[in-house]
Copies of this chain bind each other. A is one copy, B any other.
Amino acid sequence: MNNALNNAAALCIAAVERDTGLGKDTLRVWERRYGFPKPDRDAKGERLYPADQVEKLHIIRCLLDRGQRPSKVVGASTEELRAMLEVPDEPRAADAPVGGSDLLQYVRLGRTVELAVSLRKALLRQGLQRFVAETVAPLSEEVGAAWMRGEIQISDEHAYTEQMQNVLRGAIGSFGPAGERPRVLLSTLPGEDHVLGLLMVEATLVSEGTACLSLGARTPMADLGRAAVENAIDVVGVSFSGAFPARQAIDRLLELRAMLPPQIALWAGGAAVRGKQKRLPGVRVVADLDDTRQALAEWRSAHLPARA
């Protein structure tokens, strides 16, 4: 698993904050209190976190998100942590998504050409909406899970994302100009890099004739608010991957809600906000891609005059 190229990689505290979502202050205070992490120091005396400690921090954050308390997990060994992680041994659903495992195999082996060809075939066979809901979404989840389990390299995941972007954006573009309301503004907030979720939503909305304006990833909230007003937007859509801390997501959404004019709707989707509807008054939590179409239908029946 670990080869020579890997050894040189030790991250500074800012990089660890980005990678794990744990604040610099938190990392330092854990070191003081629990004795972990225990980074090396460079010539300047600054912390350098070896890759294995970063990985352990990653596991710890997973466990914290599931309700564990720091005092129980920060001191434990990597093996104990892995054991805790695998407890919820989900009953293996026998719903293996259509062709999903084949596609995952291509990602795993770095066979990007075959991957691209298969994706395009699936797109033609299923049509854009079903392709997104039945192929892209489950495959992306599988890829993320495989990366968490250490089965694939991060570079494989990047390559996968790139290929998928090519396919999805080509399909989105081929719809040509769509001018129907609502006018939807899409983005992720700072700290959230994952762009595939956004593209899936865009694909779903565009194929319903909606006018979509995407700002890509990591738009500062003030800019989002300004852009929404200036472009006469009806709905602002924000997506969060599972890697985003749920608590932060909620705080930011409420802040954004307060910042937007009340007549502009705010939709939020993604793993980090799933099931958080009751904590998010004024925000429409979108459970999945089908629910996105549902939300769209609701908006239209509420705001557009019934069409003959």
> Hey, which bits of chain A sit against chain B, CB under 8 A?
2-9, 15, 18-21, 58, 110, 112-113, 116-117, 120, 153-156, 158-159, 161-162, 165-167, 169-174, 176-177, 179, 187, 190, 211, 213-216, 219-227, 230-231, 251-252, 254-255, 257-259
- Give the residues in chain B near A117, CB-CB below 8 Å: 176-177
B4 lies within 8 A of A153 (CB): no
How many chain copies does the complex carry?
2
A216 lies within 8 A of B162 (CB): yes
B179 lies within 8 A of A113 (CB): yes
Q: Is the interface of A mostly helix, strand, loop or mixed?
A: helix
Task: State the 4 A-B residue pairs at the shortest beta-carbon distance, nearest first.
Answer: A170-B170, A155-B227, A4-B254, A169-B169
A258 lies within 8 A of B7 (CB): yes
The answer for the CA separation of A171 and B213 in the assembled complex, in Å, is 20
A9 lies within 8 A of B222 (CB): yes
B155 lies within 8 A of A224 (CB): yes
User: Which B residue sits closest to A172, measured CB to CB?
Assistant: B166
- Give the residues in chain B near A120, CB-CB below 8 Å: 173
The answer for the CA separation of A223 and B112 in the assembled complex, in Å, is 17
Give, as a whole number of angstroms, the nearest-CB distance from A182 to chain B: 15
B153 lies within 8 A of A226 (CB): yes
- Give the residues in chain B near A112, CB-CB below 8 Å: 213
Give, as a whole number of angstroms, the nearest-CB distance from A247 to chain B: 12
User: Which B residue sits closest to A250, measured CB to CB?
Assistant: B4
Known A-B contacts A169-B165, A170-B174, A226-B5; the reply to A155 vs B219 at CB < 8 A is yes
